[in-house]
Amino acid sequence: MILPRYSIYAAFLAAAGIPIYIHAPKFFADEYGVSLSAIGLILVALRLIDVVQDPILGRIASKLVSQRSVAAAIGSTGLCVGMFGLFGISPPVEPLWWMAICLTLLFTSFSFLSSLCCSRGGGQARELGPRGHVRLAGWREVGALTGVSVAAITPFFIENFTPWDAFVGFSIIFIALGIAASLAMHSLWTGPAPSQNVNWSGIVLDPGIQRLLIVAFFNAAPVAVTSTLFLFFVEYRLAMPDLAGLFLLIFFVAAALSAPVWSRLSMQFDVKNVLIAGMLLSIVVFIGTYTLQEGQVFAFGLVCLASGAALGADMTLLPAMFANRIDRIGENSSLAFGLWGFCTKLTLAVAAATVLPSLEAGGFRIGEVNDDNALTRLAVLYALVPCALKFVALAVLVGRRPERAIV
Tens digit of each residue's pLDDT (9 = 90 or more) over 149-199: 888 889 988 988 888 899 999 999 999 999 999 998 887 777 655 554 445
Task: Please give the C-alpha separations between residue 214 and each of 55, 294, 341, in angstroms, as whole numbers.
Answer: 18, 36, 13
Write the CB contacts of 199 (distance below 8 Å, at least 6 apart in sequence): none
91 band by pLDDT with thresholds 50, 70 and 90: very high
Give the per-residue pLDDT at 328: 72
DSSP category for residue 367: T
Give the per-residue pLDDT at 192: 57
**95, exposed or middle or buried, with CB in 10 Å at 0-12, 13-18, 19+?**
middle
28 band by pLDDT with thresholds 50, 70 and 90: very high
pLDDT of 209 above 50: yes
Do 144 and 10 touch, CB atoms closer than 8 A?
yes
Alpha-carbon torsion angle 113, 119, 124, 125, nearest 10: 110
Give the per-residue pLDDT at 103: 93
Question: Would you say how long the chain is, in residues?
Answer: 407
pLDDT of 107 above 70: yes
Give the per-residue pLDDT at 269: 87
Give the per-residue pLDDT at 125: 53
Q: Which residue, 3, 57, 44, is CA-closest to 341?
A: 57
Topology at the third CATH level for domain 2-405: Growth Hormone; Chain: A; (1.20.1250)
Max Cα distance, the chain (Å):
60
Mean of the per-residue pLDDT values of the chain: 84
pLDDT of 144 above 50: yes
pLDDT average, residue stretch 45-68: 76
pLDDT of 343 above 60: yes
- Rounded Cα distance between 279 and 165, Å, is 38
Do 162 and 169 touch, CB atoms closer than 8 A?
yes
Q: Is the dihedral of CA 365, 366, 368, 370 positive or negative?
A: positive
Please indicate, yes or no, whether the overall pTM of this predicted structure exceeds 0.85: no
pLDDT of 319 above 90: no
pLDDT of 401 above 60: no
Q: Which residue, 314, 145, 140, is CA-closest to 220?
A: 314
Q: What is the CA radius of gyration of the chain?
A: 20
Give the per-residue pLDDT at 2: 74
* Tens digits of residue pLDDT in 114-135: 878 766 655 555 655 555 655 6
pLDDT average, residue stretch 358-386: 92
Q: CB 228: neighbour CB atoms within 10 A?
A: 30
- Rounded Cα distance between 178 and 182, Å, is 6
- Rounded Cα distance between 70 and 186, Å, is 9
Using a pLDDT cut of 90, give the percent of the chain over it. Answer: 40
SS3 of the chain: helix, strand, coil, percent, to 5: 85, 0, 15
- Rounded Cα distance between 328 and 326, Å, is 6
pLDDT average, residue stretch 12-18: 87
Do 218 and 147 touch, CB atoms closer than 8 A?
no
340 band by pLDDT with thresholds 50, 70 and 90: confident
Q: CB 180: neighbour CB atoms within 10 A?
A: 14
pLDDT of 55 above 80: no
Give the per-residue pLDDT at 208: 77
pLDDT average, residue stretch 33-39: 90
Of 227-231, 251-255, 285-289, which range is least confident? 251-255
* Tens digits of residue pLDDT in 259-309: 888 888 888 888 889 999 999 999 999 999 999 999 999 999 999 999 999
Using a pLDDT cut of 70, give the percent of the chain over it. Answer: 85
Scored b (16 or more CB within 10 A) or e, 15-30 reads bbbbbbbbbbbbbbbe
Give the per-residue pLDDT at 331: 55
- Rounded Cα distance between 76 and 53, Å, is 17
Do 341 and 17 touch, CB atoms closer than 8 A?
no
Do 226 and 386 touch, CB atoms closer than 8 A?
yes
pLDDT average, residue stretch 137-153: 79
Of 5-9, 49-53, 70-74, which range is least confident? 49-53
Do 370 and 389 touch, CB atoms closer than 8 A?
no
pLDDT of 403 above 50: no
pLDDT average, residue stretch 197-218: 74
Where in the chain are the domains?
2-405
